Amino acid sequence: MPTIHISMRAGKPEAYRQAIFDSLYRALRDTLNVPQDDQFMTITEHEAANFRYGGAFGVARSDDLLYIQITVFNTRTAQQKKALFQRIAQLLAESPGIRPEDVFVTLADAPRENWSVGHGLAQFA
């Protein structure tokens, strides 16, 4: 039951943004075995004045940088997380053609009881 929030510079066409969604969904399916049609993702676009990055950690980023925040159940292993990061970078490079240097991912673990996916219920508690 991951949720994904993507922040990026404004100006890319719809097909580019849809390819990001498709690649991220595929990476989740490949590495975390998320259920089919488990697609809860948003993209927020920012004008240049509202989007900042640097070259910290020796990574030469560009204006195509994506900030990807993923929240998942706290049941994932470190190896699953590493596999997810690698698969995301690989698939985004394939489509829509984003350099691995421009893929910045953070993963937040949340206990299952912290999720309500509708009807005001704690379905996983």
Alpha helices (H) along 1-125:
14-32, 78-94
pTM of the model: 0.95
Residue 1 has pLDDT above 90, yes or no: no
The domains located in the chain, with CATH, are 1-112 (3.30.429.10)
Picking from 107, 40, 43, the residue whose alpha carbon sits closest to that of residue 72 is: 107
Q: Are 95 and 19 in contact (CB under 8 A)?
A: yes
Catalytic residue check, 13 = no
Report the alpha-carbon distance of residue 19 to residue 74 in Å, rounded: 27
Residue 18 has pLDDT above 90, yes or no: yes
Residue 40 has what pLDDT?
Answer: 97
92-119 confidence digits (pLDDT tens): 999 999 999 999 999 999 998 999 999 9
Q: How confident is the model at residue 90 (pLDDT cuts 50, 70, 90)?
A: very high
22-57 confidence digits (pLDDT tens): 999 999 999 999 999 999 999 999 999 999 999 999
User: Of 2, 13, 96, 100, which residue is the catalytic one?
Assistant: 2
Q: For 99-123, give the secondary structure using H, E and C.
A: CHHHEEEEEEEECHHHCCCCCCCCC
